[in-house]
Chain A
Amino acid sequence: MAMTMTQKILAAHAGLDSVSAGQLIEVNLDLVMGNDVTSPVAIHEMQDKGFHEVFDRERIALVMDHFTPNKDIKSAENCKKVRTFAKDYGISNFFDVGQMGIEHALLPEKGLVISGDTVIGADSHTCTYGALGAFSTGVGSTDMAAGMISGKAWFKVPSAIRVKLTGKLQKYVTGKDVILHLIGQIGVDGARYRSLEFTGDGIASLSMDDRFCIANMAIECGAKNGIFPVDEKTLAYMQGRTSRKPVIFEADEDAPYDETVTIDLDTLKPTVAFPHLPENTHTVDSIDDIPIDQVVIGSCTNGRIEDMRAAASVLKGRKVAEGVRCIVIPATQTVYMQCIEEGLTQIFVKAGAIVSTPTCGPCLGGHMGILAAGERAVSTTNRNFVGRMGHPESEVYLASPYVAAASAVTGKISCPCELD
């Protein structure tokens, strides 16, 4: 029976020849991930129920990224709990301040996820690794605990939407615009419980950072996962990061898809999602003046080196507008170092932006850039729900690093083409 790419990966991990949509299966996991918000709950559950062993010390990753460097005493206690657990249980992939980065940028960078893997993470943006041709999905703390104990998770096999990408991205248009456009088209529940499988000749032109960004926001249309086929760029990315051998799965030619959505990259424009849902999308050239108070450039969606380069290309030799606070957050220590080596940090600081150590911080209203009532931010993050970045009466507009940086310069939501 014909299968989608996702179904093939799940079947292989369930030890089955084939699976079909709706089937309940138990799969073996290659990696279980958690962070400083979700892991303490999982650890408490585990220990409370009397489990004192994990399935594999090498295949658990704990990343202290959300409220770190510890924003308050409670957050410090949470990190301490995870740190103690990692030490006591011999978890080798524990990433604390100094080594940590934002989990979904860090794990691929460290080679901890590769093509063909099945991964669960107690963070909704775990779907990011679909960019590598892996099946990965977000779960809660209890599923994480069960995964750490047993190395297994149960799933309902998803059906899929095929997203066919044609053409090539134009100047100032990025993976962020692709995914915002898609969410605008199908809605925040348009792919609920289903896979998004990206196909088409347009993929070849997308960088890995574009693909990570696109797969990252699959959850924002409700998808279980978003996945890309493995090509030369994928293999080149993994080169030197892992000693494991990637396993390449491909969808059958006659794989069953619920529907096909086609996106022409040639005609795609810089896009922004208005509050308070990521589906409220508009092209930047179609909107009125919207003055802003803050810009955030970073996160698991857009904190990678290409995002930093895009922002720096706009901010170079320019100044952040008066009255605007611009916060740049490289997603990992490696990206942070690259920013220094490539002179991007200097560009940001000269422009009047600040450059922070890696943290999820402002994206979820944790710390490092909380909004007051009535304030408005343009952010390269992934959610603009009510109260997401602070006060329930604040507003978040989601956009690419190009648009965010240009908006920082003009003080209103703008495309960099307005500055050319």
Chain B
Amino acid sequence: MVLTPDELALFDYGLSLEENPRSACVAAMKFIQDRRGWVDDEAMAWLAKKLDMNLSDLESVATFYSLVFRKPVGKHVILMCDSVSCWIMGCESVGDHLRRRLGIDLGQTTPDRRFTWLTIPCLGACDMAPAMMVDEILCGPLTPELIDKILDACEEADSS
């Protein structure tokens, strides 16, 4: 079972607003991702049938968009801007701090599956560079101290 009955009702309502099933495919993958953290093979097969798409066609869309996750991610996803304004303002050195603190490199997930660290192109927050998004919340200008504060808050939220 990919979706619960309640989720399925909401999914079908969303689908009914789209012009045709295929147009909904990005939103449909995000629907699953928002609830499961990522889109697994079973969900892809179910979606392809539901949207009347060839599975490899759906896969080609999934792998095109950088924010559709086809691999498991940690509980908290950190998207660090690596574009030019943030680079000028020192995203590499705050990235070094994050690397030390989490003990992982870009693109990796901590062994306890708590954090995944990815880059993202320009977040449109160049006035608060260097910037990052943690669980859809925009943070900046980043300093090592601010990064520690954000990660501490994530860990506190997990343990409470």
Q: Do A and B come from one complex?
A: no
Could you tell me which B residues sit within 8 Å of A by CB distance? none
